[in-house]
Amino acid sequence: MKKTLLCLFALLLSATVVDAQKVAGVLNAPSNVLNKKEALRSIQPMKAPSVPNRIALDEGERLFGFYNTDELDLSGYSSLGLTGYPGSYSAGALFYSDVVSGFSNAVSGQITKVRFAVAESIGSTTVRIFPVDLNSGQIGEAAAEEAVASTQKGWNDVVLTTPVTVEENTGYLISYDYTQTSRNYPLLSDMNVNPNGETGDGFMIYGNLGQGTGWYGMSDAGNLCIQFVVKGGNYIDNDVALTKMSLAKQYFKADGELEYSFGVMNMGDDVPASYTLELSVDGNVVETLESPIALTNTAQSVTGKLALPSGLSVGEHKVAVEVTKINGETPTENVADDKAETSFYVYSESLPRQMNLIEEYTSTLCGYCPLAHQLFEKWTKTRNDLIIVANHNSGMGKSDPMITTESDMLAMAFPTSGMPSAAFNRFYNADEGAVNFPVGYDSSYHEMVIDQTLNPFIEQTNSIPTFAAVDLKADYNENTRQLNINVSGEAVADFKTFVGEDAVLTVYLLEDSIIASQSSYVPYSHTEKDYVHNHVLRDVVSKNVFGDAINWTDDTHYSNDFTVTLDGSWNVKNMNVVAFISRPVKEESDVTDMWVNNANITRVLSGETGINGVVNGGEDVKEVARYSIDGTRIYAPVKGINIIKMSDGTTKKVMIAE
């Protein structure tokens, strides 16, 4: 499962040799060495038609790769070039059984064909296959070398004159030569069509990028679009393999219905006439699928809906799919890939989400970042449940005056392939293969992006129910510039079951209306000297930049206090306090397990709090509970009539229009 290396561990990546890679001596490429042909995101379909059609497979041949469909992103966004390093290079990817499904059974078979995709013609080239000893990481002499007279945009098929026999404990580095200029972007990444597939060795460049001639690893760029064909191997006559099972959402009430998908493919020498799959929940079969899709030698997706069995307890459960029959017989060989499963969760109660946390990663040196500022400004005018945090970090240089140590730590923890980018409730986006992903859209697309991308994704992040309220109080002393912050709230009884015993509380300080310069490429390249910067992260008040332990006062209530002295250069009139509850961000956290469960914001001044207190008769009368018109307890204003219970015992009805 893909991990993101965090905080202190991320600092180790500046070393010359990348130890995590399988190839010995791979050099770490300079930062920002790869440039995109199109830095702005397109809203057009990323998965462009293949060019040309799928490579022809002869009898007994199978197609392998980090993904094995025809899909390519030819929009320009995945088209890359070393435009600052003109010269002659080889571009390659390492394939081995741990990262290529089904390849472990290819031993004794032969690599007979290769196909690689480029974003533009690279003229003539030479394709090479190098064996790599997986024990030592040493690259051997080329086992195959094939001249290619001409290339075209898209897929290019190569039949090897000398096939390469697949051996035990051996990976295969497949490369092609090309000439880099200051203006071409021929390298094509799978970052959009295979977003969760980066292996660490799937995108390498051979040449001299400043540390001598050798292989350089390209981090955070996806994999090169290279695939290969194997004929033969240790495959049995009839074998069906399943790939990853996924769910549209993972949290359900007891009577819910889950939507699932998984991949299925033929891995045998023969294509079975029939096969049977069984769907189970916690080991109990609930549905049988008879040959749901015609098998081929590449993975195909099966989707469906499954009503949850009655009586499921609150907590984690497993849903699985398993191959139980092939041509009417129970499989007994090569059964390791005959089952795929994933987790889902059943809950009984939840709370309304108060606010959604949007952490934007930006820089005054980033010419496209003003587009993201404009995008989020438009978005916040369409809904009132968004907190924007502008994290100025040194990803594009250290001269941005709003960079802080904490902002750089956050940027290292949530890496991105380019700025401007953003994390939305720190929720993993499977389509992007990241928590933090680029949001540099041209302004002409902003309304469409809000409607078709941002709003639907926020709803997806909210598929994890809210299990605790976040109420904020800020008390500022003008004489000492000391700010006392209290964050408290009520949680559901099962909070620790779902958010965890190790859930954390983080507090940010933001400042609006900061005047500083800003690079901009729109509508032309220039610098705005008096640009207004809003939502700027000034400080992380919690002791840990990734959150402090929650102080529980009883089983369902918590209260945490924080104190900070504001810097004399900050304008307190323009400052806000943000607090949020999330999963912890540890040294090595799974990218799917860092989500924010709830957030809130309040101004430092003006007596405003995150719990909507009122003043009556000179005494501070506060809201202590809120209910909908049908008597249901709610924890934030909800459209319609809200019944509010006050601390003096009175109640009032308030109409919330939006």
DSSP letter at 396 equals: G
pLDDT at 618: 37
* Residue bearing the bigger pLDDT, 50 or 574: 574
In whole angstroms, what is the distance from residue 448 CA to residue 43 CA? 8
* Residue bearing the bigger pLDDT, 76 or 422: 422
Domain finish residue from 214, 231, 248: 231
pLDDT class of 400 with cuts at 50, 70, 90:
very high
pLDDT class of 50 with cuts at 50, 70, 90:
very low
| Residue 651 counted as domain residue | no
| Residue 142 counted as domain residue | yes
Q: Which domain holds residue 276?
A: 240-346
Dmax over CA atoms of the chain, in Å, equals 92
Do 118 and 206 lie in one domain? The reply is yes
pLDDT 10s digits, 506-536: 999 999 999 999 999 988 999 999 999 999 9
- Best CA proximity match to 467, nearest among 489, 490, 492, 487: 492
| Residue 325 counted as domain residue | yes
pLDDT 10s digits, 186-233: 999 998 888 778 788 999 999 999 999 999 998 778 899 999 999 999
* Number of domains composing the chain: 3
Do 149 and 255 lie in one domain? The reply is no
pLDDT at 17: 30
pLDDT 10s digits, 76-111: 878 999 999 999 999 999 999 989 988 988 999 999
- Best CA proximity match to 2, nearest among 171, 194, 134, 199: 199
In whole angstroms, what is the distance from residue 582 CA to residue 580 CA? 6
Say whether the peptide bond before residue 420 is cis (omega within 30 degrees of 0): yes
Do 369 and 300 lie in one domain? The reply is no
Do 57 and 119 lie in one domain? The reply is yes
Are 79 and 36 in contact, with CB atoms under 8 Å apart?
yes
How far, in whole angstroms, is CA 32 from its chain's centroid? 20
pLDDT 10s digits, 485-504: 999 999 999 999 999 999 99
Domain finish residue from 319, 346, 373: 346
pLDDT 10s digits, 582-620: 999 987 778 889 999 999 999 999 655 555 433 233 345
Do 155 and 42 lie in one domain? The reply is yes
Amino acid identity, residue 447? Answer: E
| Residue 147 counted as domain residue | yes
- Best CA proximity match to 535, nearest among 361, 398, 353: 361
Domain finish residue from 231, 263, 298: 231
pLDDT(9) > 50: no
Do 223 and 280 lie in one domain? The reply is no
| Residue 629 counted as domain residue | no
pLDDT at 514: 97
pLDDT class of 18 with cuts at 50, 70, 90:
very low
pLDDT 10s digits, 279-335: 999 999 999 999 999 998 878 899 999 999 999 999 999 999 999 999 999 999 989
Do 222 and 275 lie in one domain? The reply is no
Q: Spell out where 456-603 has E strands.
A: 471-477, 482-490, 504-511, 514-520, 526-533, 536-540, 548-549, 552-554, 557-565, 575-582, 588-590, 596-603
SS3 573: helix
| Residue 50 counted as domain residue | yes
pLDDT at 631: 59
Worst-scoring range by mean pLDDT, 63-67, 103-107, 210-214, 622-626?
622-626
Do 20 and 114 lie in one domain? The reply is yes
pLDDT at 198: 78
* Residue bearing the bigger pLDDT, 25 or 39: 25
| Residue 185 counted as domain residue | yes
Q: CA angle at residue 46 from 195 to 447, to 5 degrees? A: 110
Do 286 and 208 lie in one domain? The reply is no
* Residue bearing the bigger pLDDT, 609 or 55: 55
Q: What does R_g of the chain's alpha carbons equal in angstroms?
A: 27
CATH value at residue 303: 2.60.40.10
| Residue 633 counted as domain residue | no
Do 581 and 456 lie in one domain? The reply is yes
In whole angstroms, what is the distance from residue 378 CA to residue 375 CA? 5
pLDDT(75) > 90: no
In whole angstroms, what is the distance from residue 15 CA to residue 19 CA? 9
- Best CA proximity match to 511, nearest among 365, 609, 401: 401
- Best CA proximity match to 374, nearest among 454, 422, 446, 455: 446
What value does the mean pLDDT of the chain take? 88
pLDDT(634) > 60: yes
pLDDT 10s digits, 353-363: 999 999 999 99
In whole angstroms, what is the distance from residue 611 CA to residue 354 CA? 10
pLDDT class of 44 with cuts at 50, 70, 90:
very low
Worst-scoring range by mean pLDDT, 143-157, 376-390, 419-433, 482-496?
419-433
How far, in whole angstroms, is CA 2 from its chain's centroid? 10
pLDDT(623) > 80: no
Do 333 and 247 lie in one domain? The reply is yes
Beta-strand relationship, 213-217 and 204-208: antiparallel
Cα 63 to Cα 127, 266, 300, distances in angstroms:
17, 11, 13
Do 562 and 501 lie in one domain? The reply is yes
pLDDT 10s digits, 125-170: 999 999 999 999 999 999 999 999 999 999 999 999 999 999 999 9
pLDDT(404) > 70: yes
Please count the other Cβ atoms lying within 10 Å of the Cβ belonging to residue 507.
Answer: 21
* Residue bearing the bigger pLDDT, 384 or 626: 384
pLDDT at 109: 96
